[in-house]
Structure formats: C-alpha cells, structure tokens
Amino acid sequence: MDRGMVIIVGALLTFASSWLGLVLLPYRQLQNQQPYTASPGDDPYPRQLSEKALAGVGVYSANGCLYCHSQQVRSARFGNWWEGGEMKTGADIRRGWGNRRTVSRDYLHDRPTLLGTMRTGPDLANVGSRYSPAWQHQHLFNPRSFNAWSTMPSFAFLYRREPVEGGKRAETALRLGREWTVNPGYRWRPTDEEWDRILASQPGLADALKAANPGHFDVATPEGKARLLDFWLTTEEADHQVVPTADADHLVAYLLELRKAETPLPEAKE
C-alpha cells in the first residue's frame, strides 16, 4: 500500500476510535434521558426555562459569563480540606452552592450547556435560590456596591440611566446611592471644589444631611465636609434613575431560574 494511504487510513481509524468511544457511546447512553417525575401527577424535573429566562441564556452566553462562573456542583466526595485534624470532603456543597451534586439530567434542556471550567467567581448552578431579583440587578449593575473586593465586571450597559419623569420613579428603578449611579459602571466622587459648589448651589442640603445623620462633626471643617459628602453619596439621585433594559430583565430571570441542585434525583444520591 502507498505510504500516503497508510497515514490517511491510520489517521481515520484512530480518530474514529475516539469518536466512537468518547462521542457516540455517551451519546447513545444519554440520548434517551427523560425528565424525572417523583410520583405520578408531579411536575417533571427539570422544567423548561420560561421564555424570558431563555432570552437570558442568550445574554449570559453573549457576554461570556461562563468564563468566570461554572454551573456544576461537584460530588460530596470531591474537594477536600482539613478541619480539626480531620479530612473532610464536599467543598462545593459546604459552600452552599447546592444541596447535592449535579448530574447529567439537570442539564437536559440546556442549550448551550454552560458547565464552565473556571471559578474566578462562585458557581451559579443553584444561584436562583440564593438571591432576590433586586440583589441580582444591583449586583450586575455594579458588583462593588455589595462587595468591595469583587473583580466582576460591571454590566451597567444592560441598564439605562434616565431622567425621572413627573417626579415618579419607575418601580423597577435600582435603589442605589448616587455614588454608583451618576457615572454608571464606576464609583463617582466629586472633588472638594465640586462638593463646595454643590453645597453652595443647594442651601438646604448641608442642614438636611446633618439632621438625617446626627453625630458630632463640624460641617465647617474639611473633615466634616468630607463626612457630609459620604452621607450625600449614599442617597439616591432625585432627578435621575437607573432602570434595567430588557436584556437585564432576561438575564436576571435566567439567574433566578437556575436551581439545578435542589430537587432530589435518585441518581444524585451518594
């Protein structure tokens, strides 16, 4: 046989062996998996995502959330640490990332499946059980408004800063201090001169702040003024509000429906 044919046929055979073993066999094994129903009449698990959440999957994958957040809870035998002279296992579950390990059935309806391979941030398999919608919105808008140490990007571009119409705030508007909302994505703080100008232009402001935050400080001194500024920055802007766009709503809807490690499954028992 020609040398070239040997190489091509050999390459084909070795390649086919791995395709058969690593792709076709598991494909056949997993292909007919069905949702689980604990007893007749119960809702099958996993449920299909709502339409909003499905749109949220698109936002999640377009922005590469997967590159910092996994969606898989590892087994109670995985992840070990020493505690009181004893080796313990099951770090993922102990961190509160899920009640049990996730198994293939949890991902039945996922497309794309967003398992992830990196934990720069915490695992999100069960994040829907941990936080409220308001928390999610504020955290996405600027994660550092909750955790100063967070290195997660701000997703302020999923939100709109707009003037308040007719003095009435939208119900969905974020309840955040002006330090986070004046310059979305950043933490804003005026310089001393700017702060002086703001105080001068709003005569009642200093007194109102002082009244709302009783304590021993002298607003005439620089320290006192800086302290006043700290109070002012945590108050909401009166004339502007930050509201989620449809994308932000969808993303949060998806995050809230992420509850992969709750419903008991027989095969997840260990």
Partner 1 sequence: MGVTLTPPTPADRAQAARERREIDSSCRGPVLHYAASAVAWLLVGTTLAVVASVKLHSPYFLTGSEYLTFGRVRMAHLQAVGIGWSAMAGMGGACWLMCRLSRATLLYPKLLHVAAGLWNVGMVANVLGILAGHGRSVEWLDSPPYVAPFLVASIGIFSVWTAATFVRRREPHVYVTQWYILAAVFWFPVLYLVTVGMIFWVRSTGVMQMVVNWWFGHNYLGLWLTPMGVGAAYYLIPKIIGRPVHSYYLSIIGFWALALFYSWAGIHHLIGGPIPAWLATASTVGSMMMFIPVIAVAINHHMTMLGSFHVLRYSPALRFTVFGAMTYTAVSFQGSIESLKDFSEVAHFTHYTVAHAHLGAYGFFTMVMFGLFYYMIPRLTGREWFSARLISLHFWCDAVGISIYFVSLTVGGWWQGRMLNDPNVPFGNIVEYVRPYLFTRSVAGCLMGVGHVAFALLLVANLAGWGRKRGIGPAYFVAPAGKPAAGEPAPV
Binders in 22-61 for partner 1, by CB under 8 A:
22-23, 26-27, 29-31, 33, 60-61
Residue 113 binds partner 1 (CB under 8 A) = yes
Residue 66: both structure tokens together: 């997967």
Three-state DSSP class for 87? strand
CB 35 to partner 1: min, Å: 11
Count residues binding partner 1 (CB under 8 A): 80
Residue with tokens 């109670």: 76
Position among 54, 122, 225, 243 found at the interface with partner 1 (CB under 8 A)? 122
d(CA 258, CA 264): 15
Residues 6+ apart with CB under 8 A from 117: 70
Residue with tokens 């993303």: 251
CB 211 to partner 1: min, Å: 34
CB 163 to partner 1: min, Å: 19
Q: What Rg, from alpha-carbon coordinates, does the chain have? A: 26
Residue 77: both structure tokens together: 């035998």
Is 82 or 163 the residue whose CB approaches partner 1 more closely?
82
Is 17 or 221 the residue whose CB approaches partner 1 more closely?
17
Position among 42, 47, 48, 109 found at the interface with partner 1 (CB under 8 A)? 109
User: Per-residue contact track with partner 1, 180 to 209, x per CB under 8 A?
Assistant: ----xxxx----------------------
Position among 37, 147, 202, 221 found at the interface with partner 1 (CB under 8 A)? 147
Is 150 or 213 the residue whose CB approaches partner 1 more closely?
150
- Sign of CA pseudo-dihedral 166, 168, 174, 176: positive
Name the phi and psi angles at 244, rounded to 5. Answer: -70, 145
Is 158 or 253 the residue whose CB approaches partner 1 more closely?
158
d(CA 229, CA 12): 71
* 261, 71 Cβ separation under 8 angstroms: no
CB 13 to partner 1: min, Å: 9
Interacting residues with partner 1 between 211 and 240 (CB under 8 A): none
Element (H, E) at 80: strand 80-83
Is 176 or 228 the residue whose CB approaches partner 1 more closely?
176
Is 4 or 203 the residue whose CB approaches partner 1 more closely?
4
Cα maximum dimension of the chain:
96
CB 32 to partner 1: min, Å: 9
Interacting residues with partner 1 between 64 and 83 (CB under 8 A): 64-68, 70, 72, 74-75, 78-83
Angle at 183 between CA 215 and CA 159, to 5 degrees: 115
Residue 93: both structure tokens together: 């579950």
